[in-house]
């Protein structure tokens, strides 16, 4: 079965990892520092904190932004559940705003309609690798004293109006799962523009440990001394993983280029084919295409999905609207709330998309799909 996504591992990646295994630091060592530095550099020069997954990154981000009971978090239903669940688990109320009909990105007009003085965070998702409209979202957040969060699990390496992902929202979260734009196995990162938020993120992912003597409540204990001022988790990414990430970062441009080529090949083949709709792209966004979400028209998505799988093509559906999950319906969320997201879901299939996909693989997917809908 041709997978829909997979990692690309080079001999250099393998050497980078084995060098760590032969060295002194398996975790909390120099590879972690170097990886965080390198992520910060591609993300607008802001401080990055590495962590064990994209989900951990969301937990850390919401914690660093102080999300808790009584707060509202406005987000998109067209995402992986973690974007919403990591705020819900802290006691915040999740308010789903609909997506734009064409891009499936959080619609600023829908956000404007639901923000209140309780809104703490507006969390957008760069669905498929295409950045959301942060220049429209940020003023809405500012007007109610909220912060913007970019769930950039799909879009690492992309740009918006010439600015890199990581420089678009107050806080950005990334995932380095094997199907994502670069991998550390499991892994993720949080990037924060405000150094105080970045420091909170760092401390939360390090069990809340404070090491700066200037901030100690008690100052005369001894050199072993540290304090914990707020509860945290151990979400540290290892040097083994960070060395892989550092090595992968060297190929991020190459990965993005290949993903762009594959997208163009699909777009060209599907343009004008009845029954298919290709992904929308804003002219001011340079996406790091993580998914290729094609839309199957005429109510045939389920049938076409099944036949693609039968043909050995490992398609996926991204995503089930988040509030359809029983954990949300049990809280009273109802179908019909975000019609654009539901329509998009009803039509969407993610085709195979990863850097090592050959042109021959892409052509086989194209021929099979056109054969099914044509
Ligand atoms: C993958 C993903 C996550 C979670 O990342 P993990 O590393 O799998 O925990 C969060 N949000 C989105 C949009 C994702 O695609």
* 156 CA to centre of ligand 1 in angstroms: 12
For residue 100, the cross-strand partners are none
* 58 CA to centre of ligand 1 in angstroms: 9
C-alpha–C-alpha distance, residues 374 and 361, integer Å: 20
* 231 CA to centre of ligand 1 in angstroms: 24
Tell me which of 1.10.3470.10, 1.10.940.10, 3.40.640.10, 2.40.50.100 is the CATH number of domain 11-249: 3.40.640.10
* 80 CA to centre of ligand 1 in angstroms: 6
Asked if residues 287 and 130 have their Cβ atoms less than 8 Å apart, the reply is yes
Q: What ligand 1 atom has the least distance to the C-alpha of 154? A: 15
- DSSP 8-state secondary structure symbol assigned to residue 338: S
Q: Is 154 in the pocket of ligand 1 (CB under 6 A)?
A: yes
Query: What is the model's pTM?
Result: 0.98
Q: What ligand 1 atom has the least distance to the C-alpha of 82? A: 10
Instruction: Quote the pLDDT of residue 156.
Output: 98
Residues 6+ apart with CB under 8 A from 72: 92, 93, 94, 95, 116, 118, 119, 120
Q: CA–CA distance from 360 to each of 74, 278, 331, 366 (Å)? A: 42, 20, 47, 10
- DSSP 8-state secondary structure symbol assigned to residue 102: T
Of 153, 318, 320, best ligand 1 pocket probe by most atoms within 8 Å of the beta carbon: 153
Q: Is 188 in the pocket of ligand 1 (CB under 6 A)?
A: yes
The H-or-E segment that residue 70 falls in is none
| E-only strand ranges, 14-67 | 47-51
* 10 CA to centre of ligand 1 in angstroms: 23
Is pLDDT at 223 greater than 90 in this prediction?
yes
Q: What ligand 1 atom has the least distance to the C-alpha of 58? A: 10
Q: Is 5 in the pocket of ligand 1 (CB under 6 A)?
A: no
For residue 190, the cross-strand partners are 49, 173
Q: What angle do CA 193, 196, 197 make, to 5 degrees?
A: 60
The rounded percent of the chain whose pLDDT value lies above 70 is 100
Query: Which of these, 42, 5, 39, lies nearest to 355 by C-alpha position?
Result: 5
pLDDT tens column, 191-206: 999 999 999 999 999 9
Average pLDDT over all residues of the chain = 98
Tell me which of 3.65.10.10, 3.40.50.720, 3.30.70.2660, 3.90.1150.10 is the CATH number of domain 252-373: 3.90.1150.10
Asked if residues 261 and 281 have their Cβ atoms less than 8 Å apart, the reply is no
Ordered DSSP codes for 193-214: SSHHHHHHHHHHTBTTEE--GG
Of 4, 51, 55, 57, best ligand 1 pocket probe by most atoms within 8 Å of the beta carbon: 55
* 126 CA to centre of ligand 1 in angstroms: 11
* 33 CA to centre of ligand 1 in angstroms: 23
pLDDT tens column, 341-359: 999 999 999 999 999 999 9
The separation between CA 125 and the C-alpha centre of its own chain, rounded to angstroms, equals 7
Average confidence (pLDDT) over 230-251: 98
Domain ranges of the chain: 11-249, 252-373
Q: Is 82 in the pocket of ligand 1 (CB under 6 A)?
A: yes
C-alpha–C-alpha distance, residues 281 and 229, integer Å: 45
The residue written with tokens 């703490």 in the block is 120
Instruction: Quote the pLDDT of residue 45.
Output: 98
């Amino acid at each position: 079965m041709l997978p829909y996504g997979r990692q690309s591992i080079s001999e250099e990646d393998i050497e980078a990892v084995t060098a760590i295994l032969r060295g002194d630091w398996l975790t909390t060592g120099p590879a972690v520092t170097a990886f965080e530095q390198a992520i910060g550099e591609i993300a607008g020069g802001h401080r990055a904190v590495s962590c064990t997954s994209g989900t951990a990154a969301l937990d850390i981000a919401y914690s660093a932004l102080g999300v808790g009971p009584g707060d509202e978090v406005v987000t998109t239903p067209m995402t992986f559940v973690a974007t919403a669940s990591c705020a819900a688990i802290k006691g915040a109320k999740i308010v789903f705003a609909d997506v734009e009909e064409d891009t499936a990105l959080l619609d600023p007009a829908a956000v404007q309609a639901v923000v209140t003085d309780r809104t703490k965070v507006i969390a957008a998702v760069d669905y498929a690798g295409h950045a959301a409209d942060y220049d429209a979202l940020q003023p809405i957040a500012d007007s109610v004293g909220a912060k913007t969060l970019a769930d950039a699990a799909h879009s690492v390496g992309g740009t918006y109006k010439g600015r890199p992902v990581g420089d678009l929202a107050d806080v950005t979260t990334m995932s380095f799962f094997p199907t994502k734009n670069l991998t550390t196995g499991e892994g993720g990162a949080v990037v924060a523009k405000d150094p105080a938020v970045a420091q909170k993120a760092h401390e939360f992912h390090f069990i809340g440990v404070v090491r700066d003597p200037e901030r100690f409540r008690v100052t005369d204990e001894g050199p072993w001394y540290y304090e914990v001022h707020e509860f945290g988790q151990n979400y540290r990414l290892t040097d083994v993983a960070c060395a892989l990430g550092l090595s992968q970062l060297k190929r991020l441009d190459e990965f993005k280029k290949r993903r762009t080529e594959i997208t163009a090949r699909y777009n060209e083949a599907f343009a004008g084919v009845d029954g298919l709709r290709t992904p929308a792209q804003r002219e001011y966004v340079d996406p790091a295409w993580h998914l290729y979400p094609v839309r199957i028209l005429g109510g045939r998505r389920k049938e076409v999905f099944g036949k693609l799988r039968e043909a050995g093509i490992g398609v996926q559906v991204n995503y089930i609207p988040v509030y359809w999950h029983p954990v949300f319906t049990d809280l009273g969320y109802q179908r019909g709330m975000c019609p654009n997201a539901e329509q998009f879901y009803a039509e969407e299939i993610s085709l195979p998309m990863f850097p090592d996909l050959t042109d021959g693989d892409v052509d086989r997917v194209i021929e099979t799909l056109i054969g099914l809908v044509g």
